[in-house]
């Protein structure tokens, strides 16, 4: 079943891409000249980096298989490989995404770009120092991750403010200008904001994740960062085709109840298979996450309690990117272009 599903997914993704390419390839022609330091140059760098990161994931995923087929040597290519190869490329891509909007179409002026980069750098540095002081993060890799996400967020909001005419105009004029921006411009700002939010989420869960694994008795609180997880009650329940052990866990912060979690252990008698259903509560800053393990003795259970910061940010950021990508397709220029045939301009003619 899973194989069929994956086959269909591959057919859809690869088939659709190939058909689109076959239909459109003859129509793709050079339509303009541009200098290396320009928005077009930035988009070229964007495509190169995205293609490289795809290639790394593809190669790393299938390498163990190739190696086994060719030499018979069995190796494992796990998460650490992808963390060390994919993430640096992604980091450079996010830094570059901050600079991209600073570049003018066709030809950008280097001093102008550098001046705006310098302002962004100063603001980013201040924000990062504040974050480091407030949260106590000293790990250099973690700080680098924070800096990358903050860089993109600062660069994007500063470029948006510039487009609105700030700080030279009144707030009302600025809002009016923002309303007048085409949806493709909004796609840029919201897409990049989404990328910054998703990056911040990824950094948050790698730097600030807290886990606690223990044998927990009913009524005894377990500290997970600022939260206390208390196992309140464990009861039996039955679903359509399974029996379940459902726990009620209370989560408190500073003595106040934050939420109740209901982690489950399920037993499917037909399949002779046990599964666990985590109890998850999503807050704006992260997920509170509890897993119920094996019973141990009379009233004790093995429990796993996590605070996973940034998880909702990852989902929300990626969703923003996808939704505004779709909305940008509704840009007026693209709609008008679709009605008639696009006339490709012929090569530059000498003036006579």
Partner 1 sequence: MRKHVRFIARILPCLAMLMLPIAGAVQALEPGEMFDDPVKEQRARDIGRSLRCLVCQNQSIFDSNASLAKDLRVLVRERMKAGDSDEEVIEFVASQYGSYVLLEPPLNSYTYALWIAPVIFILLGAALAIQFRRRNKVSRHNELSGAAREAAQRILRGGN
Query: What is the footprint of partner 1 within residues 52-111 (CB under 8 A)?
Result: 52, 55-56, 59-63, 65, 67, 69, 71, 73-81, 84-85, 89, 107
Nearest approach, Cβ of 89 to partner 1 (angstroms)? Answer: 7
Half-sphere exposure (CA, 13 Å, Cβ side) for 136? 1
**Which residue from 189, 200, 113 is spatially nearest to 156, judged by alpha carbons?**
189
Site size toward partner 1, by CB under 8 A: 56
Which member of 137, 185, 278, 318 binds partner 1 (CB under 8 A)?
278
Backbone angles phi, psi at 125, to 5 degrees: -60, -45
Residue number, 170 or 296, with CB nearest to partner 1: 296
- x/- map, 294-323, partner 1, by CB under 8 A: x-x-----x-x-------------------
Tell me: does residue 267 bind partner 1 (CB under 8 A): no
Nearest approach, Cβ of 231 to partner 1 (angstroms)? Answer: 14
Which member of 293, 312, 316, 323 binds partner 1 (CB under 8 A)?
293
Alpha helix ranges (H) inside the chain = 2-24, 39-71, 79-99, 110-135, 140-163, 171-179, 183-208, 311-328, 332-339
> What whole-number distance in Å separates Cα of residue 164 and Cα of residue 168?
9
- x/- map, 209-228, partner 1, by CB under 8 A: ----xxx-------------
Environment class of residue 104 by beta-carbon count within 10 Å: exposed (0-12), middle (13-18) or buried (19+)? middle
Tell me: does residue 179 bind partner 1 (CB under 8 A): no
Residue number, 16 or 44, with CB nearest to partner 1: 44
Say if residues 200 and 311 touch (Cβ distance below 8 Å): no
Residue number, 21 or 63, with CB nearest to partner 1: 63
> What whole-number distance in Å separates Cα of residue 203 and Cα of residue 147?
10
**Which residue from 118, 117, 138 is spatially nearest to 129, judged by alpha carbons?**
138
Question: What are the distances in angstroms from CA 57 to CA 50, 63, 77, 101, 280?
Answer: 11, 10, 11, 27, 30
Nearest approach, Cβ of 225 to partner 1 (angstroms)? Answer: 14
Residue number, 121 or 234, with CB nearest to partner 1: 234
Tell me: does residue 348 bind partner 1 (CB under 8 A): yes
Backbone angles phi, psi at 261, to 5 degrees: -115, 145
**Which residue from 209, 341, 350, 230 is spatially nearest to 286, judged by alpha carbons?**
209
The contact set with partner 1 (CB under 8 A) reads: 2-3, 6-7, 10, 30, 33-36, 41, 44-45, 48-49, 51-52, 55-56, 59-63, 65, 67, 69, 71, 73-81, 84-85, 89, 107, 213-215, 275-278, 291-294, 296, 302, 304, 348
């Amino acid at each position: 079943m899973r194989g069929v599903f994956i086959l269909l997914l591959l057919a859809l993704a690869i088939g659709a891409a190939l058909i689109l390419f076959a239909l459109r390839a003859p129509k793709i022609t050079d339509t303009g000249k541009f200098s290396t330091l320009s928005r077009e140059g930035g988009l070229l760098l964007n495509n190169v980096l995205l293609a490289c990161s795809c290639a790394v994931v593809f190669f790393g995923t299938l390498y163990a298989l190739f190696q086994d087929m060719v030499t018979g040597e069995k190796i494992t290519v796990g998460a650490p490989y992808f963390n060390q190869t994919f993430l640096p490329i992604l980091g450079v891509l996010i830094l570059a995404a901050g600079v991209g909007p600073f570049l003018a179409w066709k030809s950008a002026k280097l001093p102008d770009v550098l001046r705006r980069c310098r302002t962004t750098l100063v603001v980013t540095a201040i924000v990062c120092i504040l974050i480091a002081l407030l949260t106590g993060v000293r790990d250099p890799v973690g700080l680098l991750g924070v800096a990358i996400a903050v860089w993109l967020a600062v660069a994007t909001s500063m470029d948006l403010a510039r487009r609105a005419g700030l700080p030279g105009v009144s707030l009302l004029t600025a809002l009016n200008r923002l309303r007048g921006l085409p949806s493709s411009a909004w796609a840029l700002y919201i897409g990049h904001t989404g990328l910054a939010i998703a990056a911040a989420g990824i950094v948050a869960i790698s730097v600030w994740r807290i886990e606690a694994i223990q044998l927990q008795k009913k009524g005894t609180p377990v500290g997970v960062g600022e939260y206390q997880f208390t196992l309140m009650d464990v009861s039996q329940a039955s679903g359509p085709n399974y029996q379940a052990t459902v726990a009620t866990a209370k989560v408190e912060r500073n003595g106040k109840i934050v939420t109740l979690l209901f982690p489950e252990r399920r037993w499917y008698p037909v399949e002779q298979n046990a599964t666990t259903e985590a109890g998850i509560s999503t807050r704006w800053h992260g997920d509170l996450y509890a897993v119920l393990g094996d019973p141990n003795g009379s009233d004790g259970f093995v429990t796993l309690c996590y605070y996973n910061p940034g998880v909702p940010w990852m989902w929300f950021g990626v969703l923003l990117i996808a939704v505004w990508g779709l909305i940008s397709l509704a840009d007026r220029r693209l709609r008008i272009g679709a009605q008639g045939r696009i006339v490709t301009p012929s090569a530059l003619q000498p003036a006579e």
